[in-house]
Amino acid sequence: ETGVTQSPTHLIKTRGQQVTLRCSSQSGHNTVSWYQQALGQGPQFIFQYYREEENGRGNFPPRFSGLQFPNYSSELNVNALELDDSALYLCASSATGGKNEKLFFGSGTQLSVL
Amino acid sequence: QKEVEQNSGPLSVPEGAIASLNCTYSDRGSQSFFWYRQYSGKSPELIMFIYSNGDKEDGRFTAQLNKASQYVSLLIRDSQPSDSATYLCAVPGDAGNMLTFGGGTRLMVKP
């Protein structure tokens, strides 16, 4: 198992609500990335944080936002939830975010939007 | 925008056989590739990384990269039922380790 922890493990929300997902990075890692994985698909990159700054963003609307804290833990916030937001949300940390650096994934948060 | 394509499968092989998983990519400038294994309901785990043409071997796993044809393969020798999982191919971004994943190939190894 990696040292990346995510909470909660499962979450059920209704359409239009807001949700916050949390991630603690592995010790010594200052970069956190978030991915969305819909059922039967590969993970899609949402954004990455490096030392508390957004360092890159995928093709997701502004209602997906995030934060990284001084201890390098991170939050993913999703506003105005839609049914298509139902997915496994994966957090991954790495030491510095370098191009070929290994990602260490957490166990994920399964979000269901009803 | 980088694209990575994989056959979704399922690919079914008998125990002890060689499983061959393929991945094609759109960006001719891509230099390095990752293979992840994902068991059902679990998070992806890295099994192979390759950045040069040719083969890279690690135990029962061999990754093959052909930049001219823009494909990367993963061979699993002596397949075991415990290898049954979804295998994801991924390429990093131009300036960091933000990965573009393929859709994954589901492998089933039958005893």
Residue B104 and residue A58: Cβ atoms within 8 Å? Answer: no
pLDDT bucket at B31, cuts 50 / 70 / 90? confident
Residue B102 and residue A42: Cβ atoms within 8 Å? Answer: yes
| Closest chain B CA to residue A31 | B97
What does the alpha-carbon distance between residue B106 and residue B87 come to, in Å, rounded to a whole number? 6
pLDDT score of A1 more than 70: no
State mean pLDDT over B89-98: 88
Instruction: Assign A85 to helix, strand or coil.
Output: helix
pLDDT score of A32 more than 70: yes
C-alpha A4 chain-centroid distance = 11
Tens digits of residue pLDDT in A44-79: 999 999 999 999 999 999 999 999 999 999 999 999
What does the alpha-carbon distance between residue B104 and residue A40 come to, in Å, rounded to a whole number? 8
Per cent of chain A over pLDDT 90 is: 88
Tens digits of residue pLDDT in B53-84: 889 999 999 999 998 999 999 999 999 999 99
Residue B49 and residue A102: Cβ atoms within 8 Å? Answer: yes
Residues in Cβ contact with A26 at an 8 Å cutoff, skipping those fewer than 6 apart = A2, A3, A4, A93, A104
To the nearest whole angstrom, how far is the Cα of A42 from the nearest Cα of chain B?
Answer: 4
Of the ranges A95-99, B34-38, B59-63, which one carries the lowest mean pLDDT score?
A: A95-99
Report the pLDDT value the prediction gives residue A100, as an integer from 0 to 100: 85
Tens digits of residue pLDDT in A77-88: 999 999 999 999
Of the ranges A30-44, B4-18, B41-55, B73-87, which one carries the lowest mean pLDDT score?
A: B41-55
What does the alpha-carbon distance between residue B35 and residue B47 come to, in Å, rounded to a whole number? 6
Residue B102 and residue A105: Cβ atoms within 8 Å? Answer: no
> Chain B contact for A101, CB < 8 A?
yes
> Chain B contact for A97, CB < 8 A?
yes
Q: Phi then psi for B26, rounded to 5 degrees?
A: -90, -30
Q: In whole numbers, what is the pLDDT of chain B averaged over residues?
A: 94
Report the pLDDT value the prediction gives residue B1, as an integer from 0 to 100: 78
Q: Which of B45, B97, B101 sits opposite A99 (nearest CB)?
A: B97
